[in-house]
Structure 1
């Protein structure tokens, strides 16, 4: 008789137990490094998992509790994939804003959270010049290309939410996904590709896969992540599908670029071309790499699809506060009469800007934000030192609802920022796209979201 009736099952159990032991050992080591920082919830190597599992479904409750217990301070919480150091208040946010990339790294934190090398591409973060493409040529071209995005928004909304004499029920999130992907890809890749159903579906699935797969990978010890990352991701199949559409486009443009050089008079004006023009910033091995350019198109779609939540919450808040609909329509009509459909017109819609910002303040942020990885021991202004290798986040959910910063912070007030902008010298400070120590949705300092101006124009349209 066999010693193990089911050898495969036994190996799985042994492997699972080994992984748990390694996770516990790592948790114990990390806890010892952070013992001088107070813990929210259970602190033991085993009991801390009670808080970690609570974090999965009650993250905002935990953050609000920490905000009350440690005002303007710092604490740590256990999560399934490790200890998280959380900071509260303006001063601590300012410390993060002023820190250098040699001390606190936003890019390294993002890579760890999203497991970019496995979920997107192994070399995407080696030289993320596409971020500068979004920050500069994409932002500069919002006004020039605005008419194309407007046309796509009008077209896709008329298709997905057709005019009717009666009420029509829609699944808001699913419909909004289709609208957002079509609108942003009109800007990124142009016609006719932005209307190709398989292309749109690819970018939606790619975004979802990155989030889900990164969560799975982060459950495993670091030494196992390269193996798990190859098993639990759809990166290669996504890239294969994307190449089917982008390879002919990029090859043709490379040919035209070689033939005409600077004399290429009708050169396309879209994200693909801006990346091609910026390739001098890429390593030699990546220049004119069709795969590299394709991955950067997928990456910018991943970022853009996240405006879906902002759009969805805006629709829900319109439904919940119908009294704001007429004032918003009057403002839009008044501005359009004066400026027409344009980037300038979008900027002048101050009540719409206030409504969207308030909608985001109340609903559009996660429990935490401003992720940073500590590369060198970092001391905050309150004297607390966080050791290298730690992960830091800010208590964004609680900051955005702080009654001292936002009176009656748990109440939805669409005029909140409109009224503030009406005060002398406050017109710029309270815009949706302006980061402040109180408004951290779009990040801080030089790491503020490079696509926030595009996102604002898109949402308003």
Structure 2
């Protein structure tokens, strides 16, 4: 056994023992929060291992038992407190940062200090730009985004005549999305540079893979200890400017389109209605960001794809950083250091919130908007758009820390979907079979080997 393997096994064993002690202490502090699974020292650690592969079953069981309450499940080195129901979700969404920290929760989920760099965690000015300047300039910049969508699809798919070509969806769409996003982020010609785009795609994948691996280690084994880290701790700011700036650009590029494309090939009956809508809107209003607002069927299809394919069982992870803990409106108190999240995927599959919740209904939200308009309930119409957040639709989170990039993401996705249905025919690689998601702990990933066939529209 080499030294690294020995250190890893030793660290994991020490971490398990440390976690057992912490869990025992926390058991006394939060005895009124029920456990889904086991509470004993070794048994709860075993549950932590089970969570890696059986998280969907554990979280769903907890949601069914406590649909309006709080329960906890064992993770490898800590408890995860899971919040269910609109009232308690609002408590989390509205909690001040100095009490329940969004930043600390994101750090635990993505291990950002190690996967993206300490600077991006401690000084996140780029998110303020996404929230303000980028969003305000979407109308002005949309012609460039639209131009890049056309060029990216043509260059990447390379289709001629009536031929069908099969492509692995995840890497193909990541390349297209990276080009479209970076047309706005860095402009021409860099947004088409193959080496730069390959770095974008590799970065998005590596962040998730690295975070998954790091979370398997006990906390005291996670910090890096190498020469590069030492240099970055002491080097002058002007000598390390390129690194944090590059990381900020790359961190905004994530996979957005793959699941929607799998849905389109799984439910082909939605292609023609969305094509007809896009043709009508473009004929009447042209290609603009404002015109996208009229594509309510496309908007609904993408929002439903988000609902069905929520990437995380749990969303809105926060860490309690107030010394006195955090008190929910039902009186439950979580102690300092606790991690809390909301049960997102079970909420999206809750029959009390969505009729036929497990069924993909691509025009579900378009129909709701039509009904609200008929009843002159204009305020509720906005709540059913892709960019809107709610306690029953948590893909972008909700409350003060709802995803600030959702306006750009929605614009990009809708424009890409409209372009796709107008210019291409698509079908699954194997008729009637959708590539299964990859599940790791609480995370769902689109199948990286899943393929779809494309051809130019006939």
Q: Report the TM-score, using the length of structure 1 for normalisation.
A: 0.81
* Greater strand fraction, Structure 1 or Structure 2: 2
Query: Does the C-alpha gap of structure 1 residues 234 and 77 become closer, same or farther in structure 2, counting only changes over 3 Å?
Result: farther
SS of the residue 2:50 aligns to: helix
User: Are 2:247 and 1:298 equivalent residues in the alignment?
Assistant: yes
Question: 1:95-135, CA deviations, whole angstroms, 9 ceiling, x for partnerless residues?
Answer: 11221112111111112222222222222222211111000
**Structure 2: distance between partners of 1:322 and 1:236:** 54
Number of aligned residue pairs: 403
Structure 2 counterpart of 1:429, from 368, 383, 390: 383
1:64 alignment partner in structure 2 = 60
User: Are 2:407 and 1:407 equivalent residues in the alignment?
Assistant: no
Alignment of 1:165-314 (within 5 A): 165-226=162-223, 229-230=224-225, 289=238, 291-292=240-241, 294-307=243-256, 311-314=257-260
SS of the residue 2:365 aligns to: helix
More off after superposition, 424-433 vs 111-120: 111-120
Larger Rg belongs to: 1
**Structure 1: distance between partners of 2:8 and 2:352:** 53
1:252 alignment partner in structure 2 = none
> Unaligned 5+ residue runs, structure 1?
240-284
Structure 2 counterpart of 1:356, from 294, 302, 305: 302
Alignment of 1:141-156 (within 5 A): 141-156=137-152
1:378 is displaced (CA, Å) by 1.0
SS of the residue 1:414 aligns to: coil
**Structure 2: distance between partners of 1:364 and 1:13:** 33
> Unaligned 5+ residue runs, structure 2?
416-458
**Structure 2: distance between partners of 1:347 and 1:7:** 59
> How large is the Cα RMSD of the aligned pairs?
2.6
Report which structure shows greater RCO (CA 8 Å, sep ≥6). Answer: 2
**Structure 2: distance between partners of 1:111 and 1:441:** 18
User: Are 2:395 and 1:441 equivalent residues in the alignment?
Assistant: yes
**Structure 2: distance between partners of 1:297 and 1:441:** 26
**Structure 2: distance between partners of 1:458 and 1:346:** 10
**Structure 2: distance between partners of 1:153 and 1:109:** 34
Alignment of 1:4-19 (within 5 A): 17-19=13-15
- Contact map agreement 1:77 1:84 (CA 8 A) in 2: yes
- Contact map agreement 1:31 1:83 (CA 8 A) in 2: no
2:97 alignment partner in structure 1 = 101
SS of the residue 2:361 aligns to: coil
Question: 1:146-189, CA deviations, whole angstroms, 9 ceiling, x for partnerless residues?
Answer: 11111111111112223341322111111111111111111101
- Contact map agreement 2:37 2:47 (CA 8 A) in 1: yes
Query: Does the C-alpha gap of structure 1 residues 180 and 12 become closer, same or farther in structure 2, counting only changes over 3 Å?
Result: closer
Query: Does the C-alpha gap of structure 1 residues 296 and 436 become closer, same or farther in structure 2, counting only changes over 3 Å?
Result: farther
* Greater helix fraction, Structure 1 or Structure 2: 1
1:65 is displaced (CA, Å) by 1.1
**Structure 2: distance between partners of 1:71 and 1:449:** 25
- Contact map agreement 2:264 2:271 (CA 8 A) in 1: yes
**Structure 1: distance between partners of 2:356 and 2:348:** 11
